[in-house]
Copies of this chain bind each other. A is one copy, B any other.
Amino acid sequence: MTTKNVHVKIDEMKTNTGLIKNLELSIGKVVDESWAEPMGPTPMPSLTTLRDWDMKLLNRYKPFYMPDCDLCCLCTYGKCDLTAGKRGACGLDIGAQSSRIVLLACSIGAATHTGHARHVVDHLIEKYGRRHPIDVGGLNVKVEAPVTRLVTGIRPETLGDLEDVLEYCEAQITHCLSAAHTGQEGNNLDFESKAFHAGMIDQVGMEVADIAQISTLNFPKADPEAPLIQMGIGTVDTSKPVIMCIGHNVVPSVGIIDYMKDSGLADKMEVVGLCCTAFDNTRYYDRAKIVGPISWQLRFVRGGFADVVVLDEQCVRTDMFNEAERVKAPVIAASEKNCMGFKDRTNDPADEIVADLVSGKVPGVLILDPDKVGEVAVKVAMQIAPIRKKMRVLPNINEIVELAKTCRQCNLCQRSCPQDLKIPAALKAASEGNIAPLTELYEECIGCGRCEEACPVKLQIHSFIVKAGERFMVEETNLCRAGRGAVQDVEIRNVGSPIVLGEIPGILAVVGCANYPHGGKDVYDICREFALRRYIVVTSGCSAMSAGSYKNEEGKTLYEEFPGSFEAGGVLNVGSCVANSHIAGAAIKVANIFAKRPLRGNYEEIADYIHNRVGAVGLAWGAYSQKAASIAAGFWRLGVPVLVGPHGSKYRRMLLGREDKPEDWEVYDARTGDKVNVGPAPEHLFQTVETPQEAMAAIAKLCIRPNDTWKGRSIKLSHYIDLHKRHYGTMPPDIHLFVRTMADVPMTMKDEITAILEAKGWKETVIPDPTLLPRMIRKKKE
């Protein structure tokens, strides 16, 4: 369906059935009557439609800014020095500038997913037609596009309907970006509200991208038992030709996989992926393999495993053409977004391109036709693999020992390393023949290469580390569940009540990139901890890979140990980054399917519901990108708290509640209109956690919601207290803020807590029907 006015005027048109002349048809509004739900108050919100809602959140969760730099350098009036309260030449101060940077990041992120969606939808429409139906889970998923329905009021039934959705998104992204122009917005909270808007749009864009590809490419359809995928370099038969796909956009990979299968080569070669493309490849073809997250690009290329490297868009190292050339692996750039300076060979005959790449005449090409990418990649891989020694640029251990002797101990590597890794000390040891300290760095290194760039004697430090850890690398044989896509309506129905009442203590979404402070093990540990505690654990993107990269005592990965369904103790991989939309979608569906709140164009009410009732928390332990910023922003506007790992502090602004300010924690009781203090639940909207221990206590605490029943609250509190005691060695200092009646207190801790409550002068309060929206009060107070 379309919400747009349609006017068609045809003077003359030849069709199969004859000639039409002077047809004029004008339709004010097409309303798809098969969707009984009436339109809500805010379909297709503009920049300011939800500003009031944002301000409610922003007044509770005030921005804490940490500028990266004292300057603004965004226009030629500047650079401007914004220290000590100074305003720039355009009148801007550092608070507004800091929030403007957030808006810019979120706009870039939203543009990236939406642009991705546009490309996928355009391509799939070309291939499958505009009328190809949307199907994300057959009869199990009636609410096929919760975010889209909520935001736009559109219920997309066909691929063509998604175009209307994207047009809205693109217009809004244009508006958001525009507000970052010098001399527009001047107020930091207004910038923040616009960043929220970008985040909301981003969720729509992601949803469109994922439901389009699920509907057409035979991806798992909301399948809790999506296949388990081989993951890790150790699972790859490197004696076969290996095609390595890096990025996020599955379209070129589909070309590769199709061509490979059609040519009967499926058993003769390996298609492996890094980053989100890896996921979507495996959703399309369960014999594709996952190599690892974004941070493993260098190690895998330098390891020489790949015979051909295919780059699509997003999260691709921009020096990949360089790195691939060093190991003589031809590169195919396959995205308009990422041309890498290569010559566009889209219109050349495939065999000519193949010849040029195999002979090494050119190191890489740009091919914008996915089918041709497929043909060229497969042929090049087959032809080059036998003649190309799997060339590595990793030095051997003896070489490392010798080279380490040239290290000047200048510290520049460590000072350039985002992880502050003690490289000079490790090299010192290596020079003395002890590579153990280098090996220890393997897990912590995020593969950024900055150390090498900084080294005055050009030591290939990252290669040394990879070599020192090579054993771990080549032994990696793990399993990851293929991205299942959406959550089924029936799953929502089953868990809706325990979630909202608090009996399932929370939904933990562990998402995003691999910019971890100490390697991926933390992600695994956190996921397992909460799965064992029977939280629902949802993963996506690089984090979903890390979650699957370790095993329990029985040798089982997380995805084998826990069920893949949306239930207490489930561990679900929804899929690639764009599949993050299903996490928001699940929360929205709790409000809609379980609580029967109207969905269509009804953003505020749903967000208010989720914020007050759905104990969901996002953890982006290694978030690094603008996309991660916009994904977080989408959750903020829904009122869902997001935690980031230490590097996330570099997003430069947090949204922090103040549990010491009781006046900030009032909600309306929808039954009476009374204001009720519900405590800091949830305490923050965006917060950096410094250590995994802190993360665990914070997650448990952030799952608490005003609507928890006493039973739910006591369960949540017992997890919080337990984790806090374990990791902090003491009772939480704020326990009294979360006890409303004595029934909330976990039975086993009654005495201890009672004493605390007394000491704190605690008073019993009511459990309201909580809302931040005055209009939700059913009986207005006189």
Q: Which residues of A contact B (CB under 8 A)?
A: 5-8, 10-13, 25, 27, 30-34, 46-48, 51-52, 68-69, 71, 73-81, 85-93, 96, 104-105, 107-109, 111-112, 114-116, 118, 130-131, 160, 166-167, 169-171, 173-175, 177-190, 193, 294, 313-322, 335-341, 344, 366, 368, 416, 418, 446, 448-450, 453-454, 515, 623-627, 647-651
A180 to B111, CA, bound (A): 10
A48 vs B68: C-alpha distance in the bound complex, in angstroms? 34
Cβ B48 vs Cβ A184 within 8 A: no
Give the complex CA separation of A650 and B105 in angstroms.
Answer: 22
* Chain B residue nearest to A319 in the complex (CB): B91
Contact present for B75 and A320 (CB under 8 Å)? no
Q: A627 to B177, Cβ gap below 8 A?
A: no
B130 touches A91 (CB 8 A): no
State the CA gap A322–B92 with chains docked (Å): 11
- Residues of chain B within 8 A (CB-CB) of A320 are 91, 186
25 contacts between A and B (CB under 8 A): A7-B130, A10-B27, A48-B368, A69-B71, A69-B73, A74-B626, A75-B625, A76-B515, A76-B625, A79-B650, A85-B453, A91-B319, A104-B104, A109-B181, A169-B174, A170-B171, A173-B173, A175-B336, A179-B337, A181-B314, A181-B626, A182-B315, A184-B337, A184-B338, A186-B317
Task: Name the contact of A318 in the complex, choosing from B178, B185, B624 (C-beta under 8 A).
Answer: B185
CB <8 Å contact, A416 and B187: no
Q: Which 4 A-B pairs have the closest CB atoms?
A: A186-B318, A187-B341, A91-B319, A89-B448
Instruction: Tell me, in angstroms, the Cα distance from A107 to B183 when the chains sit together.
Output: 16
A13 to chain B, nearest CB (A): 7
Q: Name the distance in Å between A462's Cβ and chain B's nearest Cβ.
A: 11
Known: A316-B183, A623-B76. A27 touches B5 (CB 8 A): no
B51 touches A30 (CB 8 A): no
Which B residues are in CB contact (< 8 Å) with A189?
341
B625/A181 in contact, CB under 8 A: yes
| A47 / chain B contacts, CB cutoff of 8 Å | 336-337
Contact of A7 among B108, B160, B170, B171 (CB under 8 A): B160
- Is B418 within 8 A of A108, CB to CB? no
**What residues on B are CB-neighbors of A88 within 8 Å?**
450
Contact check: which of B160, B337, B450 meets A175 at CB < 8 Å?
B337
Whether B25 contacts A92 by the Cβ 8 Å rule is no
Instruction: Let me know if B344 and A182 touch, CB within 8 A.
Output: no
- What's the least CB distance linking A674 to chain B, in Å? 25
Q: Could you tell me the distance between the alpha carbons of A344 and B8 in the complex, rounded to whole angstroms?
A: 38
CB distance from A618 to the nearest CB of B (A): 16
Bound complex: CA A11 to CA B35 (Å): 11
Contact of A340 among B89, B190, B627 (CB under 8 A): B190
B182 A624 Cβ-Cβ under 8 A? yes
Q: Is the CB of A338 within 8 A of B625?
A: no
B90 and A185 within 8 A (CB): no
- Which residues in B have their C-beta under 8 angstroms from that of A6? 6, 8
Chain B nearest CB: distance from A451 CB in Å? 10
The interface residues of chain B lying within 8 Å CB-to-CB of A167 are 167, 170-171
Assess the A647–B170 pair: CB atoms within 8 A: no
| Distance in angstroms between the alpha carbons of A193 and B336 in the assembled complex | 11
Chain B, residue nearest A86 (CB) = B453
Q: Which of B91, B107, B131, B181 contacts A112 (CB 8 A)?
A: B181
A179 neighbours in B (Cβ, 8 Å)? 337-338
Give A116 to B184 CA distance when docked, in angstroms.
12
A39 to B511 Cα, complex, angstroms: 46
Instruction: Please give the distance in Å from A15's CB to the nearest CB on chain B.
Output: 8
Chain B residue contacts of A341, Cβ below 8 A: 186-190
Contact B116 A178 (CB under 8 A): yes
Nearest-neighbour CB distance to chain B for A364, whole angstroms, equals 11
The docked-state distance in angstroms from the alpha carbon of A631 to that of B624 is 32
| Contact between B48 and A181, CB atoms less than 8 A apart | no
* Contact between A416 and B184, CB atoms less than 8 A apart: no
In the bound complex, residues from chain B placing their C-beta under 8 Å from that of A12 are 33
The reply to whether A111 and B627 form a contact with Cβ atoms under 8 Å apart is: no
Would you call A108 and B180 a contact (CB within 8 A)?
yes
Contact B318 A96 (CB under 8 A): yes
Across-interface contacts of A314 in B (CB, < 8 A): 181, 183-184
